[in-house]
Amino acid sequence: MKNIMDAPFLTEMRRTTANMYRLGWDERNGGNISCLLQSEEVGRYIDIDSAVREIPIGFEAKELAGRIFIVTGTGRYFKNVQDDPENNLGIIRIAPDGRTARLLWGYKDGGKFTSELPAHLMSHMARLKVDPENRIIMHCHPTHTLAMNYVHELDERKFTHTLWEMCTECIVVFPDGVGVLPWMLCGTNSIGEATAEKMKEFRLVIWGMHGIYGAGKTMDETFGLIETVEKAAQIYMLTAHLPRINTIKDSELRELAEFFGVKYREDFLN
C-alpha cells in the first residue's frame, strides 16, 4: 500500500480547505466539502473493505451504496485541515443498506462527517443524474454573497440576473444561474432535500442568509463557480449604494452567451 499522505485526493482537500479559509469563506467550523472518489484509486492507499467503525447517516442513500467519499468533519476548522488531515477529514463508504457510513480512514479522535451530510449526499445523487462525472459538493459562507442576501431580493431569477450584470464573464461561468432557498434550519434532512431539488437544475444554490452550495466535476470547477459568484457579489456590495451609471445590458448578456456557446437560462433575462 502507498502512503495515504501522498494521495492526490488528500492533497487536494488540504489545499482547498486552506485556500477557502484564507479567503474568509470558512470561519471557525463553517463550510464542508465532500468528494466522490474512485474505489480503485482509494484502494491503492487503504483497504476499502475494512471499516474502522460504522456511523449512521440518518436517511437512506441506497443509490450511493458502495460509493466512497472524502468528507470534512463536523465541528472541524478548515484552517486546521492542512496540518492535521487525519483528525479533520474522513473517508467513508456507504454501506449496502444506504443507511450507514463505514469509516475507512480519518476522524481519528472519534469525530464524524459534517452535519450537512444529508445535503451533500442528496446533492450528489441529484447531480450524478444530470452529470455522471459530478464528484464535488462544496458548501461555504462567502462574505459578500452572504452580505448580498440581506439587501437583495431572494428570488433566483432576480438574484442571478444581478450577478450576471456584475462581471462580464458571469453568464459564461454559470449560464445555468443560481438557485435560491429561503432561510431554513441547517443540518437537517429537509434542507438536504430542498438543496437536492434545486441541484436538479442548478450547480449553485444559495442558502438564504447562510451561505452557498456548489457542485462540479472537479475541485477547480466547483471552487471557480463559488469564486465567481463571490466576486460578482463583491462588486454588487461595492456599488449597490451608489448611483448606477453603467450596466451590462440584457442584449449584451445574450451576445456573450451566444458567442461562448453556453446554454443559458433565457427566462432569467428581461
| Contact residues: ligand 13P, CB under 6 A | 29-32, 72, 74-75, 114-116, 139, 186
- Judge whether 165 counts as a catalytic residue: no
State the Rg of the chain over Cα.
Answer: 19
Among 54, 86, 116, 153, which one carries the catalytic annotation?
A: 116
Between 155 and 194, how does the x/- string for binding to Zn ion read (CB under 5 A)? ----------------------------------------
The one of ligand 13P, Zn ion, none whose footprint includes residue 34, by CB under 5 to 8 A per kind, is none
For cell 487536494, what's the residue?
12
Query: Which partner in Zn ion, ligand 13P, none is near 74 (CB below 5 to 8 A by kind)?
Result: ligand 13P
Q: Which of residues 202-221 bind Zn ion (CB under 5 A)?
A: 211
> Half-sphere exposure of residue 160, counting CA atoms within 13 Å on the CB side?
27
Give SS3 for 48: coil
Q: How far is the CB of 178 from ligand 13P (least distance, A)?
A: 18
Measure the CA angle with vertex 73, ends 72 and 79; round to 5°: 70
**Strand partners for 54:** 102
CB 265 within 8 A of CB 177: yes
Query: Smaller CB distance to Zn ion: residue 92 or 140?
Result: 140
Give the separation between CA 230 and CA 234, rounded to whole angstroms: 6
CB of 183 to ligand 13P, least distance (A): 12
**Residue number with CB closer to Zn ion (13 or 171):** 13
The edge-to-edge listing of strands for the beta sheet with 100-106 is 53-56, 100-106, 89-94, 68-72, 32-37, 136-140, 211-216, 204-207, 179-181
Q: Which is nearer to ligand 13P, 171 or 215 (CB)?
A: 215
32 binds, among Zn ion, ligand 13P, none (CB under 5 to 8 A by kind): ligand 13P
Q: What is the DSSP letter of 88?
A: H
Catalytic residues: 116
Q: Which residues are near Zn ion by CB under 5 A?
A: 211
